[in-house]
Amino acid sequence: MRFKKLASLAIAGAMVASLLTGCGGSKDSGSGANESTTAATSDTGSSSDAATSDVSHGDTYTVDFYNVAANFQGVQPGWYGKIIKDKFNMEMNIIAPQVSGDGGALYQTRCAAGNLGDLILLDNADMQECIESGLVRDLTDVIKKYPNLWKFQEQIEKFNGMMGDGSKIYAIPLEMNTNGPTAYNQLHVYTYPRMGWDMYTEAGQPELKNLDDLLDCLKKIQDAHPQNDKGDNAYAISLWKDWDSTYMECVAQLTKWYGQEVNGSVLIGTDNSITPLTDKNGAYYKMLKFFYQANQMGLVDPDSATQDWNTVVTKMQDKRVYLYWYSWQYGFWNSPARGEEGTNYIEIPVADTKLYQPSDTYYGNGRVLGVGSQVSDEQLDRLMEFLDWYASPEGVQIQHSGTEGLIYDVVDGKNKLTEDGINRFSAEVAVPEELGGGNWNDGNNMINQWIVASCEINPNTGEAYNSDLWSSTIEMNKTKTTNEWSEKFGAANDVEYLQKNNMMTVVPSINMALDIDTTDVSLAREQCGNAIKDASWRMIFAADDADFDAQWDAMVSELEGLGWKDVTEFDTNKYQPMLEARKAAQ
């Protein structure tokens, strides 16, 4: 058993032509499943197809959940923990390699012991390896009994058809939907420059032709607001390193602004190109230099190299960070009241960007969920019952929005956020003791991945599970900020603006297991990844341009001695079939 960092994530590409056949339209979103603690029949199924309801809940089952997506380790706390305990008499003991201190050692130790976990959430290639090693239970004769899971039969069978001999089902893809493999049903693109509308306006609403203009605008903002209203130091850019894998994650996400996505050691472009991450004409170098130039202008938080994501969240909630780039960061500040004040963050177009935007993850997002092979039959029944609920309308609604009555109300058959629901990410929302007590965020779902994506349609409301896409939320968010933005840029939202101006390419999502690293490639990848991360962080804080370029050249030279050529050749061959499939689909 060998450890690999992110050997396979969701790739912007397309399924082979056979996978796309018949996938153009939406399916019926309704499963009709009973949302009690037992599985039930679907609208299209019969009682003979449904799981039995004789699962015993007498003893508390502490589920060891090995989870590469989790940012929390320990037993699920708070309101979500209470829901699981009340419904299933379960406690979720989350084992999170990325916060354990040494994820590689943890993975190898548990694999060597033959028990990775009761539930196992892994990247695709790691799951394939664990299946081959006998660490994952065969679900072929079990999963069909659970209608909320089997609603995604097409996606589950197609993915597992690429695993093992292709005849068995071991893994459940995550973030699936039934909207079709080329759909992008969102109001916002995933990653793009975002600033407070009030501060952008105060800076003169300058036209941003390129990254230099973006930095100049951020400089004006920070010079005018070196501290927040509480007197705390504030910066245009605040970085964190606890999400880094074999590269610097904050840099990698921004490469999409210029038409490339980092995948392992290579950059995959919207033009179907594959180039090494170290290509000096590539977007990794470009965005790394962007952060370096920002630091030269005094715009990078000096805590960046030592702080973690949770610290950055606190700073965003206190308006100590002036540039966002993830769409979901809005939740840490934006609200309708702030929108009316004109202080909400919103996308600001940069004219030379050519965004790489993956479509919604119809086939899954590159991570999968399985059951450990050591799990008993009784435990399997309980785990499958939980997973079926996790994929049910009730379970999915709770995952993506929270609980009715506290976070949202149902008005005329549609969901509408409460005041606490509006503020749940940006402020302390107290949870009543009878619902679990504590702070809402502290009790949120720490599994941090879903079987069903938030863009899926809830059959009970006819709207997406994602509260941002509810008609009530869209109407509520029409504020001074959005109205003034729309008037200036001539579009309802950033997706419409970027599409109208040919500034984005939606790349069909694909989810498949890719070639697994050989032992030599795995070792070289880990060593090269450490060198890339270390050099990237040093380069952001380089003394001057000459120092920056010298460090880049030194990194490239070091990588050559660590087997970089072998890694990039391996990744080029690994991803080439994806690009061929994408070309066929486009």
Q: Residue 32, by phi and psi: left (phi above 0), alpha (psi -120 to 50) or beta? A: left
- The four Cα atoms 13, 14, 16, 20 give a dihedral, to 10 degrees, of 170
Measured distance CA(463)–CA(393) in Å, rounded: 12
Measured distance CA(559)–CA(298) in Å, rounded: 30
Question: Which candidate, 253, 248, 263, places its Cα nearest to that of 305?
Answer: 248
Contact 358, 175 (CB under 8 A): no
What's the rounded mean pLDDT across residues 262-285? Answer: 96
Specify the pLDDT at position 27. Answer: 30
The DSSP annotation for 287-329 comes to HHHHHHHHHHTT-B-TTTTT--HHHHHHHHHTT-B--EEEGGG
Specify the pLDDT at position 584. Answer: 67
Under the banding of pLDDT at 50, 70 and 90, the label for residue 369 is: very high
Condensed to tens digits (0 to 9), the pLDDT of residues 212-249 reads: 999 999 999 999 999 999 999 999 999 999 999 999 99
Q: Find all residues with CB under 8 Å of 357, minimum gap 6, and list them.
A: 184, 189, 190, 256, 504, 505, 506, 507
Measured distance CA(557)–CA(110) in Å, rounded: 36
What's the rounded mean pLDDT across residues 380-386? Answer: 98
Specify the pLDDT at position 49. Answer: 38
Q: Find all residues with CB under 8 Å of 345, minimum gap 6, and list them.
A: 194, 195, 196, 197, 324, 329, 330, 333, 334
Residue with tokens 């610097």, as numbered in its chain = 248
What percentage of residues in the chain have a pLDDT greater than 70?
90
Residue with tokens 């050691």, as numbered in its chain = 265
CA atoms within 13 A on the CB side of 485: 29
Specify the pLDDT at position 165. Answer: 81
Measured CA distances, 36 to 142, 222, 413, 490 (Å) = 19, 52, 20, 47
* Lowest pLDDT segment from 15-19, 439-443, 552-556: 15-19
Q: Find all residues with CB under 8 Å of 101, minimum gap 6, and list them.
A: none
Specify the pLDDT at position 585. Answer: 57
275 membership: H or E segment, kind and range: strand 274-276
Measured distance CA(93)–CA(90) in Å, rounded: 9
Contact 222, 236 (CB under 8 A): yes
Condensed to tens digits (0 to 9), the pLDDT of residues 148-196 reads: 999 999 999 989 988 878 899 999 999 999 988 888 988 899 999 999 9
- Residue 32 pLDDT > 50: no
Q: Between residues 51 and 383, which one has the greater pLDDT?
A: 383
Q: Residue 189, by phi and psi: left (phi above 0), alpha (psi -120 to 50) or beta? A: beta
Indicate the average pLDDT of the chain: 89
How many helices (H) does the chain have, and how many strands (E)? 21, 20
Measured distance CA(507)–CA(351) in Å, rounded: 20
- Residue 23 pLDDT > 70: no
| Burial profile 347-381: b = 16 or more Cβ within 10 angstroms, e = fewer | bbbbeebbbbbbbbbbbbbbbbbbbbbbbeeebbb
Q: Quote the distance between the C-alpha of residue 310 and its chain's center.
A: 16
Specify the pLDDT at position 13. Answer: 32
Measured distance CA(90)–CA(260) in Å, rounded: 43
Under the banding of pLDDT at 50, 70 and 90, the label for residue 102 is: confident
Condensed to tens digits (0 to 9), the pLDDT of residues 407-435 reads: 999 999 999 999 999 989 888 899 999 99
What's the rounded mean pLDDT across residues 275-286? Answer: 98
- Residue 108 pLDDT > 90: yes
Condensed to tens digits (0 to 9), the pLDDT of residues 253-273 reads: 999 999 999 999 999 999 999
Measured distance CA(194)–CA(334) in Å, rounded: 12
Specify the pLDDT at position 580. Answer: 79
Condensed to tens digits (0 to 9), the pLDDT of residues 79-94 reads: 999 999 999 999 999 9
Quick one: DSSP state of residue 143? G
What's the rounded mean pLDDT across residues 488-506? Answer: 96
Condensed to tens digits (0 to 9), the pLDDT of residues 499-555 reads: 999 999 999 887 776 788 899 999 999 999 999 999 999 999 999 999 999 999 999
Specify the pLDDT at position 6. Answer: 29
